[in-house]
Structure 1
């Protein structure tokens, strides 16, 4: 196959892929307002699979729908602004004080919410006749609701009656940690065998990904066990009853994953636990874990915060896998590791991307040099190719034969120029996923007007510079003998500039630096080859 035809095929295939992803994102229907707490409250209380699968029992005094008059308490820590409702003792609102909202940087990012537009709740309860659960009305106990200076923990408790006793539900917040301890303590003669902890979420896209162009990152439940490793359960599969994951284990956790952030129920130690995912009413889905009650107490840690991989690794095995790198994880993971190492030294993600680009370019320097030498030789023999086309343009077979003879005589590999593209495409896509998926890039500035490397350049300066560098590269490449191919090659910088207008600015920065280095390398090699040809001539 002709070298230029292969290049065009690769470029067009990649262009179509990215344009299709962009079209899907921009044509995605906007979320519609709907019922939240009422629909959620209608969910049945989960039961262990070993038990008879009967509907959950609503205890005496419970209500099937939240009332507007239900008491709520606002809790403030160094990392959270949380709202806990007496309805079910649910965690109904959770702001992350260290992270800004995507659409309005004057506000905090909201992870849990129940405002009628979006539903994302933390729930739980005890399983059994006459025991309080997420449908019950709890009594908020008096006590501090703000983490005081110098205080390391803050406990907020609720109480509910149970048959022959009471149950106290306690949230424990920790300074400097996105981990929240959620515990049930039974007193009196009440008895319970199992407790459940679940998140309930609608299937609407995450707020953080509303401006991200391209492939949507995964949103939905994920389960990790030593037996099944990391398993995703998409909302679509859950709705169809096709969700397959480990249901029972003595280890592991269950999470609700979305772009940049995650909430995960993390039972401690090795012990019996049962994971479940289910479709509720409307657009709601539940993902939770059932654990045994021991000594009248059941406790599970809830992580609700950013997907910071280095910290997630230390919290629970496999928790860092919630970061979605798509199908190029094997390349994206080491790229981000190296990028993180550079950031520790440099201290700025933009300059770290530039340093990463230089290192990648150096790693592939020998291969790129061989490719550019091939392209430089192709440029030198282009007049001879044009002459052959004039002589044998009507005889395709003879033309191809003469071209092969010329390549052999000049010691040229006609496919050698494709290697830089073949190498760069997987690295490009992997870096695209890194910049799209890692929370460290969110709101990360570079310099001047680039205040967020994970979003597009607001003034389109970087994409225009990238287009100019592509145009220069095209001029340095050998001119295709076919006039139509030559025109298409000249149009490609315009096409790519149009696409890069909406790409994350960090990715455009990488491509600019890569192009500049390629131009310098290609110009030097072309100059050397041309000089050598003149001496030989």
Structure 2
């Protein structure tokens, strides 16, 4: 029996240690290989430089803050800068910073040159990556037109930003005109922007680039998270859109017409990158022009906003996507009735546990039957120490006689895991929890914080209360629901008690910096499981 306890402890630590790996398998981050291709007659062939990706250098220079222009609608404020003609700051009016209470900013780094709308033009792929030029800005009543000269003054470039009221999306129109008396050939990259800066420590793992292929039958979104500095990751197929996203918000660029663009992700180091659309070679005769239109989305990762634009694949919960979206839909339905997401999480957790209660009951009753025959199992082991084959045969006869399945306690629990994992991921990434209040919690999408009059070692001047409440609930659960075997030796009983204390502490470390909505779900689930198990302990075996 002592060996079984040690094995149980080892397996518990193994599960905790490999939990991130398990999630990685369920929600893989696909990192595509590089390669430059173009489509001709339904096939793919290499461009002039087979197997070569554009070597884009990092442009130097920073923004001049006094060259800003602000474009607003009902949803957000965009600050455009003359240097590069880019969007250097985004503030949402419908969301607030949980610390400052000011409009939430997802972009405000003035040191990043390749911000949304940055246009890189060169006569060859190897020439991409030059410093940003300075644009002239014209205000056109709700639209902003920016103009600049490129390619040694031979090419006039114009960008027109236009956003509707009450919408997170708009149009970015790019026009090229050959002002020289000779033909021009060039490539260009239009940037969705750099990786969005994390607002909380938990945001880092969710920052990624997305590339969605335009090829028929290839509707699998490509995720790129970590790219080494100087390394370029490029799509092998033409793309429908590209995005830079974090846990809750995204900036997306999508060609309006069926143009041939590749998705490009450039590594900047320190888990940072930028994302762009790379054109094919453009050829313009003297005086000729080309105009391309792009849909630009700057907003929350919310299906209701993305679905009409054909961008809904961006919201994805991995292989459990359907379950996760169904649970989020249930959460929104409860919120429409009770008007509070904290209360809705509690009710949804209760309904899920109620639905899965038959499985919980079956698993616990199987464990209880195993507890009853434990003394007989100990005798079988003792009498057949030197004959493992006979011991296994008598064990199977014992299980059959008492109608006990040795795996009966585990199998029902495993059936519940997809639901709990899907809800875990959905609550971690769902934008509907941003700025949602519950009791003392100001934002269910981030850790709850209670400020202290003094600064504590390792914690500072604030603590996260909800994870501490969760740890206390888990300690109580372990104490009142621990199964004690008849004839159990004192040493093994001591080990079980140690394990019962260690597990809540380990979970406390894991959940301490998690979103408070997720902690609330786990706390509610812990309390409900404790009540269920206390009830089932009183049930008589039949």
- 1:444 matched to 2:440? The reply is no
Q: 1:479 to 1:329 in 2, by over 3 A?
A: farther
Q: 1:8 to 1:188 in 2, by over 3 A?
A: closer
More strand by share: 2
Cα-Cα RMSD: 4.4
Correspondent of 1:277 among 264, 275, 279: 264
Q: 1:134 to 1:111 in 2, by over 3 A?
A: farther
Match of 1:140 in 2: 137
Match of 1:173 in 2: 163
- Aligned positions, number: 480
Q: 1:396 to 1:433 in 2, by over 3 A?
A: farther
Once the two structures are TM-superposed, the CA of residue 420 in structure 1 deviates from its matched residue by 4.1
Once the two structures are TM-superposed, the CA of residue 306 in structure 1 deviates from its matched residue by 1.5
Match of 2:14 in 1: 13
Residues 76, 92 of structure 2: 8 Å contact kept: yes
Alignment of 1:79-98 (within 5 A): 79-98=75-94
Q: 1:66 to 1:383 in 2, by over 3 A?
A: closer
Match of 2:117 in 1: 123
Determine helix, strand or coil for the equivalent of 1:255. strand
Unaligned runs of 5+ in 1: 23-46, 58-62, 145-153, 533-537
Alignment of 1:57-68 (within 5 A): 65-66=61-62, 68=64
Match of 2:330 in 1: 338
Rounded to whole Å, the distance in 1 between the matches of 2:252 and 2:222 is 13
Correspondent of 2:297 among 295, 299, 303: 303
Match of 1:253 in 2: 241
Residues 378, 478 of structure 1: 8 Å contact kept: no
- 1:77 matched to 2:73? The reply is yes
Alignment of 1:481-492 (within 5 A): 481=488, 485-492=492-499
Residues 167, 184 of structure 1: 8 Å contact kept: yes
Rounded to whole Å, the distance in 1 between the matches of 2:487 and 2:360 is 20
Q: 1:509 to 1:126 in 2, by over 3 A?
A: closer
Alignment of 1:280-429 (within 5 A): 285-290=273-278, 296-316=290-310, 319-323=311-315, 325-326=317-318, 328-329=320-321, 331-385=323-377, 392=383, 397=388, 403-429=395-421
Rounded to whole Å, the distance in 1 between the matches of 2:414 and 2:8 is 9
Instruction: Give the TM-score normalised by structure 1.
Output: 0.74
Q: 1:329 to 1:454 in 2, by over 3 A?
A: same
Q: 1:65 to 1:523 in 2, by over 3 A?
A: closer
Instruction: Give the TM-score normalised by structure 2.
Output: 0.73
Once the two structures are TM-superposed, the CA of residue 189 in structure 1 deviates from its matched residue by 5.4
Match of 2:205 in 1: 216
Q: 1:124 to 1:496 in 2, by over 3 A?
A: same
Match of 2:172 in 1: 182
Determine helix, strand or coil for the equivalent of 1:416. coil
Rounded to whole Å, the distance in 1 between the matches of 2:415 and 2:492 is 23
Rounded to whole Å, the distance in 2 between the matches of 1:54 and 1:359 is 52
Unaligned runs of 5+ in 2: 24-37, 40-45, 124-129, 449-463
Match of 2:32 in 1: none
Rounded to whole Å, the distance in 1 between the matches of 2:53 and 2:422 is 47
